[in-house]
Structure 1
Amino acid sequence: MTTPRIAIIISSTRQARLGEKVAQWVLEHAAARTDLAFELVDLREVNLPFFDEVASNAWVPSTNETAQQWQKTVGSYDGYIFVTAEYNHSITAALKNALDYASPEWNKKPAAAVGYGGVGGARAVEHLRGICVELQMAPTRTAVHIGGTDFIGIWQQGVALNDLPHLLPTLNTLFDELGWWTKALKTAREQA
């Protein structure tokens, strides 16, 4: 089996976002893993238009070239870590749009989440899990939640994520769960 590829997806596209810093922290610690290969995917760079297809590509091929390229990108990975802000108790519009633009490409693959915001992105992560189930993904139990004083410290006071070592055990558990599910589902997909 080739080394499974994991996309760390930055879901916020705002100029004044924290997501890039969080995603870099995840990638830095993911580099210690030898069982999975991690890459950043930035939705700002993908620049998808708002969904305007006849239907999901589960039913009708997409006509938009950017959407088609996005679907190829999504399909090239074996699992995902979504780095998500919480906007109004849910995920970002950019992430929802990106999820909607692909369907079979997400199927039968694991999804993990790193949320941030006042309550650690908990409500966004819960909404994301429901969407992932609808897309036939397997969300991991463990998620990293960066909230409260940790979030404020990073966002407004210059605290570095590596100054918060209490987050690492949860991040490592997330990697372990994601690794197990990635291998199990990749093996099952290859045998189907």
Structure 2
Amino acid sequence: MAKLAIIIASTRPNRVGLPVAQWIETEARTHGGFDEVELIDLLEVDLPFMNEPHHPRLRNYQFQHTKDWSARIDAADAFVFVMPEYNYGFTAPLKNAIDYLNHEWAYKPVGLVSYGGVAAGTRAAQMIKQVVTTLKMTPLFEAVSIPFVHQFLDEEEGLTPNDVMVSSAKAMFDELKRVAEALRPLREPS
């Protein structure tokens, strides 16, 4: 059994991340490489700014919201971060959500679906690779980068991808499955 968690990084009103994530969730389910696909919306998770008194590596969580977040991330075998680019970087809610935990992220691959204007969120994608590798995650080369994202959006239809986006998503899911399986022995309790 392999579980994929897709995390929506944007929490602001009128965000583009929701329709992008709904499309990538559909692609993940169509792909069929994961037995379970969970869409996690950081707006709904609503983690306060890091408020745990102990370092996350100790897993000595005091608050229920952290215990719940830990269980959701621990249960996943692979991730996709659906993320915009804010001022050449990734979102503060995503960084906060990552920083709440430590061991739960380790030895799991992460695919990046970025979106924006001309740069398609790729600068944010590059920045987050430094963060996730520190947590022993494996960021994939295969990614989905959506330039000028608004051209693909319709209020009634959601996101309508082009062929490049669809083939990029398939390549990303193929590699996520392969790397998640390769890393599985490292995730087993020692």
Cα deviation, residue 140, structure 1: 0.7
Q: Is 2:64 the partner of 1:52?
A: no
Q: Could you tell which deviates more after superposition, 11-20 or 55-64? A: 55-64
Letter of the aligned partner of 1:186 in structure 2? Answer: R
Number of aligned pairs?
A: 188
Partner of 1:29: 27
Partner of 1:144: 144
The CA deviation string for residues 56-77 of structure 1, in whole angstroms up to 9 with x for no partner, is: 3103612222112111111011
Cα deviation, residue 156, structure 1: 8.2
CA spacing shift, 1:70–1:163, aligned 2, 3 Å? closer
Letter of the aligned partner of 1:185 in structure 2? Answer: L
- What RMSD over aligned residues (CA atoms) do the two structures have, in Å? 2.0
Cα deviation, residue 158, structure 1: 8.0
Q: Percent identity?
A: 35
Contact kept in structure 2, 1:5 and 1:78, CA below 8 Å? yes
Q: Is 2:28 the partner of 1:42?
A: no
Q: Quick one: distance in 1 between partners of 2:101 and 2:72?
A: 10
From 162, 171, 174, the counterpart of 2:160 = 162
Letter of the aligned partner of 1:41 in structure 2? Answer: I
Cα deviation, residue 155, structure 1: 5.5
Cα deviation, residue 53, structure 1: 2.4
Letter of the aligned partner of 1:22 in structure 2? Answer: V
Q: Quick one: distance in 2 between partners of 1:141 and 1:23?
A: 19
Q: Extract unaligned runs of 5+ from structure 2.
A: none
Contact kept in structure 2, 1:56 and 1:100, CA below 8 Å? no
Cα deviation, residue 159, structure 1: 8.1
Contact kept in structure 2, 1:153 and 1:159, CA below 8 Å? no
Cα deviation, residue 165, structure 1: 2.2
Q: TM-score, normalised by structure 1?
A: 0.90
Q: Is 2:100 the partner of 1:101?
A: yes
Q: Quick one: distance in 2 between partners of 1:163 and 1:8?
A: 18
* Matched position secondary structure for 1:81: strand
Partner of 2:11: 13
Letter of the aligned partner of 1:123 in structure 2? Answer: R
Q: TM-score, normalised by structure 2?
A: 0.91
Partner of 1:185: 183
Partner of 1:128: 128
Q: Quick one: distance in 2 between partners of 1:86 and 1:120?
A: 8
